Structure 1
Amino acid sequence: MPRIPRPTDHTSLPRPRHWSDDAACGGIETAVFFPVGKGGVPASVDAAYAKSFCLGCPVRPDCLGHALSQREDFGVWGGLDEDERAELLRQARRAAEKQRRQERERASASSAA
């Protein structure tokens, strides 16, 4: 029987290095980072377990940056859960609004002078 050539497996092709290649969570089941509090265990306990992998992770800032820029709505990313990331975004939005107000006030004060 003749051999039929197999298509190239995409996982064997070279790819550029990615920040996640150095993540401390590499090889850990993905479900760990999406706690739902199954079996009577509060989701906060599951989240704390997931966050424990992030403590010494060398790519934690990259992971958090990814979650914030891609608006990851669920799970633990960069050591923060979805509520903590939402609060971080709210704080950044308030700070940006405050800065814009101050700039407008300065601009109107200098044009009035």
Structure 2
Amino acid sequence: MYKEPSISKSKTEMVYASCIAEPHFFWCQYINTEDLCKVIQLAQEAGQSDQDMTFTETLGPGSPCLALFSSDNQWHRARVMRKTDNTLHVLFVDYGNESEVDIKDVRSLPQTLRFWGSES
């Protein structure tokens, strides 16, 4: 899956809220965005490449993928939450927001993007 960020309880990190669902349920991103910029660049390259779409048949809850976010028309790392006939409900792991995505707007996640920790 994705490498989880490692933050010790005694360490302070500079962050900003990237997605707020409820007062006690929110996602943050590190202020230093160098890693996020690199992940975004790699995701765009992978999302625009030609891929075998038969992999979507194996996607289910928890599956990592790349998904096209309709608001910015960019490819982002995601995790499948639910699957219906032609739609996936995904969580964008670097931001914390969720969205319904047409299955044609999903790509397999390259191994190189699995090694980067989630940015939120």
TM tier, smaller:
under 0.3
TM-score by length of structure 2 reads 0.26
Which one has the bigger strand percentage? 2
| Bigger Rg, structure 1 or 2 | 1
Select the structure with the greater relative contact order (CA < 8 A; seq sep ≥ 6). 2
TM-score by length of structure 1 reads 0.27
Which one has the bigger helix percentage? 1
